[in-house]
Structure 1
Amino acid sequence: MDLDRQIQQLIAEAPQDGTTPQAIAAIAPLFKELAQKLQHSEYYVLQTLDGRWVMTTLSNTRETNRQKTVIYGFPTLKDAADHPYSRQDPQVMATPVGTIKILFQLLAMEGVDSLVFFQTSGQAATGTEVKRSEVQTLIQTHLQQMYPTPRRSSIPPNLA
């Protein structure tokens, strides 16, 4: 499914509370821009039988106290199935998920630091990292540009 259709689907599936669809539409251009930097319009994400995405905690070999939690996006079902976690746990399966939805879900997963998208089948040693903190900063900057905070008047309120 192309990126524009993924955005429309995300908006359509949002709670119809009067604000969420508009909020998604406001930040959709950012998700599309990020997704266009990746090579695939969907990736396979490992998840448990109850639908929770599998998170992997990575440790820095030089600084053992530094860790980060990531979710992997694989370019093919075979790549996902070949991942060590898939082979270790029969309760894990790979599901295709649109790139836009993966990026959007990153915002809701507070325990996840990054998404790592593998671009080339068979090459799981290198991936493209999308950091949660950077996505949040992009969104904040974008929203501030779209909806600037009104400047406070320099006229004292008791001038009259």
Structure 2
Amino acid sequence: MEIDQQLEQLIQEAPADRGMPKIMEYAIAPMLKAIAENLQHQDYYILQNAEESWQVTTLRHREDQNVTKRVIYGFPTLEDAGIFAQHNDDPQLMALPVPVTHILFELLAFDQVDSVIFFEESGNYENATDIPREKLQESIREKLKQLKDKMEQPPANLA
């Protein structure tokens, strides 16, 4: 599914209360689109368990083991996800394709996760794109503030 189609689906599925469809359309969707267009794939494979909970991996800093980061990996192919799944002890892990904008949208509310790491090239696990949740949330907050400020300003031609 193309990025614009993914975003349209998110907007249509937004709860109707509190102006959420408009917030999605004018603040959240443009941010998600800008990020998604800088990634190489429209869908990524996400490891999930039988209950469809996404696999969260805790990474530890090489020098300070007390510093951790909780991530979700997005793989470019089913095979790449399968290779990673082999290193886990959970035989019920499966990889399913998820639209990139949906992954980013889920990240906004996924407090247990610090980042999504997207692997862009099959077989290459050294180079990846890291999307931190806090930065994404801050970008959305800034966009919402800009929209709010714009809406509160009276038209310049009022006399």
Distance 2:125 2:114 in 1: 19
Question: 1:3: which partner in 2?
Answer: 3
State the AA in 1 paired with 2:22.
Answer: Q
Question: 2:103: which partner in 1?
Answer: 102
Contact 1:86 1:92 in 2 (8 A): no
Consecutive unaligned residues of structure 1, counting only runs of 5 or more, are: 152-160
Return the index of the structure with the highest Cα Rg.
1
Deviation of 1:130 after TM superposition, in Å, equals 0.3
Deviation of 1:82 after TM superposition, in Å, equals 0.5
Question: 1:136: which partner in 2?
Answer: 137
CA, structure 1 residues 85+109, in 2 after alignment: closer, same or farther (shift >3 Å)?
farther
CA, structure 1 residues 55+85, in 2 after alignment: closer, same or farther (shift >3 Å)?
farther
Contact 1:68 1:113 in 2 (8 A): yes
RMSD: 1.7
Q: Report 1:2-151 matches (<5 A).
A: 2-17=2-17, 19-26=19-26, 27-84=28-85, 88-148=89-149
Contact 2:47 2:85 in 1 (8 A): no
State the AA in 1 paired with 2:72.
Answer: I
Deviation of 1:84 after TM superposition, in Å, equals 4.3
State the AA in 2 paired with 1:43.
Answer: Y
What TM-score, normalized to structure 1?
A: 0.88
Distance 2:17 2:143 in 1: 22
Number of residue pairs the alignment of both structures matches? 151
Contact 2:71 2:114 in 1 (8 A): yes
Distance 1:109 1:2 in 2: 24
Question: 2:157: which partner in 1?
Answer: none
What TM-score, normalized to structure 2?
A: 0.89
Consecutive unaligned residues of structure 2, counting only runs of 5 or more, are: 154-159
State the AA in 2 paired with 1:56.
Answer: T
